[in-house]
Amino acid sequence: MAKILTVVGARPQFIKAAAVSRQLSKHGISELIVHTGQHFDDNMSDVFFREMEIPKPTYNLEINSLGHGAMTGRMMEALEKIMVDEKPSAVMVYGDTNSTLAGALVAKKLHIRVVHVEAGLRSFNMDMPEEINRILTDRISDLLFCPTDAAIRNLKSEGFDNFQSKIVKNGDVMQDAAYFYIEKARRISTVIAEHSIPERFVLATIHRQENTDNIDNLKGIIDGLNRINKEISVVVPLHPRTRKILASHKLSPEFMIIDPVGYFDMISLLNNCSLVVTDSGGVQKEAFFFKKHCVTMREQTEWVELVENGFNALCGSSSEKLYGSYKAMVSKESDFGIDLYGEGKASEVIARELLEWL
């Protein structure tokens, strides 16, 4: 029987892998999961795996809180031993973390085929560590699952037609996960009642270092959100580290700040909000999955099809542009029936393709 070794390192990757794992099992493909520990998360307890219906990792390497070089190197060292012992038919990696690159590099050097889910995405910003990880992983992958036509165009423009790799458009596995978990979120999430969140609200998230660690960017964002909050309630799940930065620079949010939320609470907020404002790549897509327009506090996005089709507006960190984008998007009407990400069948495409390919 074919055996896939899946390498993941962050909670969002577990959610993506869960969607694929369900289909691998359904199609009779054996899988073992390695958690590098890159993003240490207290919430990833037995309850997390049980509620999310995610297979528990076979291995947990507990490698975190290191610089990029040390982290990637230690991951490679540990992964090499596991791959030599387990002898998988292929190694599957997701997205653009250090775990992604470490898994792909080790597999390639051991002559094990590499499968990259979310291949072909580009921000065209080489200052982002994620951009380096995704470009290098794509180049050494044997089977590249692309979520969008734009991702395929990126690979072709980089010469992938001349490489010994196979490109498949499968859609976005996060849409599979969102559709799978929304009913459970409706049943168990209490976040809206718990915080007395009004019927109409804007959901905002801020986490990228280019925004949280740049005081000018952060000031522009806080000013813009404060201005929006005068017209409609703004709700921001915010990491304690960012709260401390706000306090140290005497920035005064006038909107509602709540503690970081789990996945079920997050999709409940997404499902009930009037508009999304974010600097997260994943949240941009999730806004679309739940038929919400989005304002993105970045200068570029990997999800260009959302901008091209009018579901997303880029505003950077300017207070004026943020407010202007909010005004343009909050009452906008769009056809969310367009199929951009596979309509919840991306994982099934992966499983069927692997069955033929392995």
Rounded to whole angstroms, how far apart are CA atoms 37 and 74? Answer: 11
**44-58 as b/e: b if 16+ CB within 10 A:** beeebeeebebbebe
Residue 175 has which token pair? 């849409």
CA dihedral (129, 130, 131, 132) positive or negative: positive
In 3-state terms the chain splits into helix, strand, coil percentages (rounded to 5) of: 50, 15, 35
Active site residue 207: yes
Burial class (CB in 10 A: 0-12, 13-18, 19+), 287: buried
Query: Annotated catalytic residue: which of 27, 207, 239, 293?
Result: 207
If we measure between CA atoms, which residue out of 195, 337, 205, 339 comes closest to residue 270? 205
- Measured torsion, CA atoms of residues 103, 105, 109, 113, in degrees rounded to the nearest 10: 60
- DSSP for residue 160: G
Separation of first and last alpha carbons in the chain: 10
Where in the sequence numbering do the catalytic residues fall? 207
